[in-house]
């Protein structure tokens, strides 16, 4: 019996059973409201995965790990565990970490149980973590992986919970396992406000137009701005590399020319790459590494790994990519 089959064994499900018996990827949201309901959702799936010898990773708080240790006894040592506060630190990097953990998926069924951190995050960060949930559907498509995402109803903002349900094809709750009625595939996934253009950069900004021969000038300008803003050497290097990669993509695959604008806003340094002929050919661009044979896509993926935040917009045929770095003493 697979882990997915275990899900439908202990919970009444009818039409969906064939899907879950196939060993393909299943991304499941599981809201709960107490320690007892958390255990009822998680424990039977882990027990079956242990019986089948599957790889298991559980990312949650220490109190939940202690609960599992008490219930599983000696078998608890067979479950890989991570603490949520040190795992869920940055959406793109967390997705990469999950991807690397599950890399042997071609050979083995893998169970991933995660409980992201929602309290204490600003509105913009919350949106990026919801976007990360949607990107998981791309990261593990067609892989024999069960990703069970836990949501504490008392600690998850209502809007986040609503948006998260749209990012999960399946929902597990007291009434069983069911298809999520509001699920939106990654290619169509949008959050409120995603269709709106960026606000215009402030007048007090540095702007560097560029073409094929001007990329070194762009790098110099970004480096100088980062140093003047007080970023450390490594962070300046990360920002320079990120902007350079996106600008180079503009030259090679976009409009051929563009501009970089740089300014400080609050506790951040922001760089915007403007590409008059740019386009975004994939959903949730930059969350997944490009395929080895692909000549495109590296810039946004690298930028998401290195920068604190990356946002994209296309307005009137113009692609804008904004890269954010948090300034010192604000991290």
For 24-49, the pLDDT digits (tens) are: 789 999 999 999 999 999 999 999 99
Q: Point out the least confidently predicted range of 121-130, 275-284, 317-326.
A: 275-284
Phi, psi angles (nearest 5°) of residue 7: -60, -45
Does 162 score more than 90 pLDDT? yes
With residue 58 as reference, give the H or E element that holds it: strand 55-60
Calpha distance 274→243 (Å, rounded): 11
Give tens-digit pLDDT for 192-205. Answer: 999 999 999 999 99
Confidence of residue 259 (pLDDT cuts 50, 70, 90): very high
Angle between helices 35-52 and 3-10 (to 10 degrees): 140
Phi, psi angles (nearest 5°) of residue 244: -60, -40
pLDDT of residue 13: 39
**Domains of the chain, with CATH numbers?**
3-188 (3.40.50.300), 206-326 (3.30.565.10)
Does 293 score more than 60 pLDDT? yes
| Burial (0-12, 13-18, 19+ Cβ within 10 Å), 187 | exposed
Q: Point out the least confidently predicted range of 2-6, 55-59, 142-146, 319-323.
A: 2-6
CB atoms under 10 Å from CB of 142, counted, come to 9
The better pLDDT of the pair 295, 6 is held by: 295
Calpha distance 272→194 (Å, rounded): 17
Nearest by Cα to 58 from 83, 85, 33 = 83
Q: Are strands 176-179 and 170-173 parallel, antiparallel or unpaired?
A: antiparallel
Partners of 324 in the beta sheet?
270, 309
CA 3 to chain centre: 24
């Amino acid at each position: 019996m697979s882990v997915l089959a275990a899900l439908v064994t202990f919970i009444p499900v009818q039409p969906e059973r064939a899907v879950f018996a196939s060993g393909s990827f299943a991304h499941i949201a599981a809201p709960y409201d107490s320690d007892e309901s958390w255990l009822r959702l998680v424990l039977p799936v882990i027990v079956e995965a242990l019986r089948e010898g599957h790889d298991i990773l559980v990312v949650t708080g220490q109190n939940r790990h202690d609960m599992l240790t008490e219930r599983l006894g000696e078998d608890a040592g067979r479950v890989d565990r991570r603490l949520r506060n040190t795992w869920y630190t940055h959406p793109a990097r967390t997705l990469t970490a999950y991807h690397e953990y599950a890399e042997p998926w071609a050979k083995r069924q893998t169970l991933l149980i995660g409980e992201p951190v929602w309290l204490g995050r600003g509105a913009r960060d919350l949106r990026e973590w919801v976007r990360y949930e949607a990107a998981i559907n791309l990261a593990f498509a067609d892989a024999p992986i069960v990703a069970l995402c836990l949501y504490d109803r008392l600690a998850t903002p209502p809007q986040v919970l609503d948006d998260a349900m749209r990012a999960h094809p399946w929902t597990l709750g007291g009434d069983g396992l069911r298809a999520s009625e509001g699920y939106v595939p990654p290619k169509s996934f949008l959050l409120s406000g995603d269709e709106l253009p960026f606000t215009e950069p402030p007048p007090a900004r540095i702007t560097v137009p560029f073409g094929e021969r001007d990329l070194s000038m762009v790098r110099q300008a970004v480096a100088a701005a980062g140093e003047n803003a007080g970023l450390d050497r490594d962070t300046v290097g990360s920002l320079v590399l990120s902007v350079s990669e996106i600008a180079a993509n503009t030259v090679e695959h976009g409009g051929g020319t563009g501009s970089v604008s740089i300014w400080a806003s609050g506790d951040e340094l922001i760089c915007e790459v403007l590409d008059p002929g740019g386009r975004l050919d994939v959903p949730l661009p930059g969350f997944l590494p490009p395929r080895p044979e692909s000549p495109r896509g590296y810039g946004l993926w690298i930028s998401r790994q290195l920068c604190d935040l990356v946002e994209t917009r296309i307005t009137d045929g113009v692609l804008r990519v904004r890269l954010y770095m948090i300034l010192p003493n604000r991290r």
